[in-house]
Amino acid sequence: MSQSTPAIELIGIDKRFGAVHANRNINLTVAKGSIHGIIGENGAGKSTLMSILYGFYHADAGEIRVDGKTVTIKDSQAAIGVGIGMVHQHFMLVENFTVLENVVLGAEGGLLLAKGVSRVRSALKQLSEDYQLEVDPDAVIEELPVGLQQRVEILKAMVRGAEILILDEPTGVLTPAEADHLFKVLRVLRDQGKTIILITHKLREIMAITDTVSVMRRGEMVATRKTAETTVEELAELMVGRRVLLHVQKGAAHPGAVALSVKNLTVKDSRGVTMVDNVSFDVRAGEIVGIAGVAGNGQSELLEAIAGIRKPVSGTITINGQEVSTRTDPGLLRDLGLAHIPEDRHHMGLVLKFEEYENSILGYHKDDKYLSGPFLDLDAIQEDAKAKIEKYDIRPPNCRLKTANFSGGNQQKIVVAREIERDPKVLIIGQPTRGVDIGAIEFIHRRIVEMRDAGKAILLVSVELDEIRSLSDRILVMFAGHVVGEKTPDTGEQTLGLMMAGIAA
């Protein structure tokens, strides 16, 4: 690793958003040709700090140095100008454009568009060969899997000459195999002299890929460690400020009557492709049934059918003894005691332009406790929202803040609080801790186990095998729309992985 001038130096960076002190006198040094991790709980200020470095926000105080020179980064173009590129957690791609068209955007080369397109096509070919970033330049973005879409974002930055690459929660939407390939790419980039800043909450990834890791807590930089000289336990404690249970603690399940029954269910997606093919299973009161599988093998469509969002082609769904297969009104299913924490909080769980208290009652806004005659009782709703904020440690604790202004993990806690606090009889959960930090993961896992122990039936879908194995009482494995087997939680990761790939049962 180079011992020359640091790639990045942040000195005394301070940033406020009204009463929220997002960054407090931050100092950070990132060595050239290294992979530097930045971790912290949701709302710790990581993304704010990187947004200042990339020109989305302006610091209230402090200095930024790139290659030893003080720079002013007033916008993302200025960041690109000093060699900084950023891959965002939610991709900035035009879905109906091709890869080439997305990469060309902003780098057209003036009036001679054809010349600019030709230059970018050549650059893509060279970068693909140099950094193992192969992707078809003429493929349409919406037809590419998520892993390849992320690769396009990296290529966009590289074409613009990025020597420093910031990645914000890069594996949040990737399968384990896609994440492994991303890590290979990052190592190649580092070995070729690029500098990588990796924002993540996943401690296993930090240990696997970074050279150095810095820890933020409540807006402050509290520690920097050589990765080889620290442990997962130390980093977790530094992040949260207390000891954290890294493994789910739960006793044996005591299953009761069947609360959710799925029989011979077939579901098609919006293109008419069969995604769930003749699937049957039961979930009993007092147990957690986990569904393991690589994303895109029918889990999403299965949850949507059970939640009443997508109508099945055939088969039956029974909730607490009532057959509901033909119902496509989630409100009616909520009345039967079903709650749903969706996989995609942005598109199905929240209205980001609404304030927190408005999202805290979505789907339940007709309940008597939220009404005063025919009108919404805003005082009652806000008091209820404040109670959930305190119980679930949602940060910042402001029910009047627009939901878009919360971090991803705190947005997730808004959804989790809304659904769990309804005390449902059946809870179906998609990716409960996607984009959530270690402290919040511990909290959410504990609440799920408490729900099970209170006699609730829980169906859990997650691409995180550790999460499936630690929470589930039984594991169903899905591949290509079929349930290909049932296993116990102590089944090895390799065995489950082979089943998820359709290789073994």
pLDDT of residue 429: 97
**Residue 444 scores a pLDDT above 50:** yes
CA gap 419, 321 in Å, rounded: 21
Q: Using CA atoms of 22, 217, 406, 380 in order, give the dihedral in degrees to the nearest 10.
A: -100
Q: How confident is the model at residue 493 (pLDDT cuts 50, 70, 90)?
A: confident
* Stronger pLDDT, 8 or 176, i.e. the higher one: 8
Which range has highest mean pLDDT (39-53, 123-137, 240-254, 311-325)? 311-325
1: in domain = no
Of 49-53, 173-177, 355-359, 445-449, where does mean pLDDT reach its minimum? 173-177
CATH, residue 204: 3.40.50.300
Contact indicator for 70, 63 with CB cutoff of 8 Å: yes
pLDDT of residue 1: 44
Q: Which domain holds residue 380?
A: 347-423
Q: How confident is the model at residue 175 (pLDDT cuts 50, 70, 90)?
A: low
Helical (H) or strand (E) element with 11: strand 8-17
Cα angle vertex 400, ends 398, 403, to 5°? 85
Same domain, 226 and 249: no
275: in domain = yes
Boundary-marking domain end, from 212, 240, 268: 240
Q: How confident is the model at residue 459 (pLDDT cuts 50, 70, 90)?
A: very high
- Which residue, 22, 25, 58, 24, is CA-closest to 396? 22
CA gap 407, 51 in Å, rounded: 13
Contact indicator for 199, 46 with CB cutoff of 8 Å: yes
Boundary-marking domain end, from 196, 215, 240: 240
Residues 6+ apart with CB under 8 A from 240: 41, 217, 438, 439
CA gap 3, 39 in Å, rounded: 24
CA gap 59, 420 in Å, rounded: 38
3: in domain = no
* Stronger pLDDT, 34 or 433, i.e. the higher one: 34
Ordered DSSP codes for 210-238:
-SEEEEEETTEEEEEEEGGG--HHHHHHH
Amino acid in the structure at residue 344? D
**Residue 215 scores a pLDDT above 50:** yes
pLDDT of residue 231: 93
342: in domain = no
Mean pLDDT of 169-189: 81
pLDDT of residue 3: 55
Arithmetic mean of pLDDT over the chain: 90
pLDDT of residue 111: 42
* Structure token digits, residue 383: 């008091």
Cα–Cα distances in Å, from 181 out to 30, 107, 147, 383? Answer: 24, 27, 9, 47
56: in domain = yes
Contact indicator for 35, 210 with CB cutoff of 8 Å: yes
**Residue 104 scores a pLDDT above 80:** yes
CA gap 242, 240 in Å, rounded: 6
Of 94-108, 289-303, 333-347, 358-372, where does mean pLDDT reach its minimum? 94-108
Mean pLDDT of 86-99: 85
Q: How confident is the model at residue 381 (pLDDT cuts 50, 70, 90)?
A: very high
2: in domain = no
Question: Each residue of 409-424: pLDDT tens digit?
Answer: 889 999 999 999 999 9
Q: Backbone dihedral region of 278: left (phi > 0), alpha (psi from -120 to 50 degrees) or beta?
A: left
The structural domain count of the chain equals 3
Same domain, 266 and 361: no
Mean pLDDT of 193-202: 90
Mean pLDDT of 363-383: 94
Q: Tokens 């209230």 sit at which residue? A: 60
Same domain, 398 and 444: no
**Residue 327 scores a pLDDT above 80:** no
Q: How confident is the model at residue 246 (pLDDT cuts 50, 70, 90)?
A: low
Boundary-marking domain end, from 397, 423, 449: 423
Phi then psi for residue 115, to 5 deg, are -65, -40
Angle between helices 146-159 and 176-191 (to 10 degrees): 20
Same domain, 322 and 437: yes
Q: Tokens 């073994």 sit at which residue? A: 504
In Å, how far from its chain's centre is CA 91? 12
Cα–Cα distances in Å, from 207 out to 49, 116, 242? Answer: 22, 40, 20
**Residue 217 scores a pLDDT above 50:** yes
Same domain, 169 and 180: yes
**Residue 400 scores a pLDDT above 90:** yes
This prediction's pTM: 0.69
> Taking the CB of residue 134, how many other CB atoms lie within 10 A of it?
12
Same domain, 27 and 128: yes
359: in domain = yes
Phi then psi for residue 217, to 5 deg, are -145, 120
Task: Count how many residues are written for the chain.
Answer: 505
* Structure token digits, residue 76: 């993302």
Could you give the percent of the chain with pLDDT greater than 90? 61
In Å, how far from its chain's centre is CA 287? 25
Question: Each residue of 151-163: pLDDT tens digit?
Answer: 888 888 888 889 9
Same domain, 93 and 164: yes
Same domain, 55 and 176: yes
Helical (H) or strand (E) element with 267: strand 258-268
CA gap 212, 478 in Å, rounded: 37
| Pairing verdict, β 375-376 and 314-319 | unpaired
Q: Using CA atoms of 48, 49, 51, 57 in order, give the dihedral in degrees to the nearest 10.
A: 80
| Pairing verdict, β 164-168 and 195-199 | parallel
Same domain, 20 and 122: yes
pLDDT of residue 108: 57
Which ranges of 41-200 does DSSP label H, i.e. alpha helix? 46-53, 76-81, 99-104, 113-131, 146-159, 176-191
27: in domain = yes
Same domain, 394 and 434: no
Q: How confident is the model at residue 485 (pLDDT cuts 50, 70, 90)?
A: very high
Could you give the percent of the chain with pLDDT greater than 70? 95
Same domain, 259 and 369: no
CA gap 267, 276 in Å, rounded: 5
Mean pLDDT of 58-84: 95
| Pairing verdict, β 274-284 and 258-268 | antiparallel
Mean pLDDT of 168-175: 76
Same domain, 254 and 295: yes
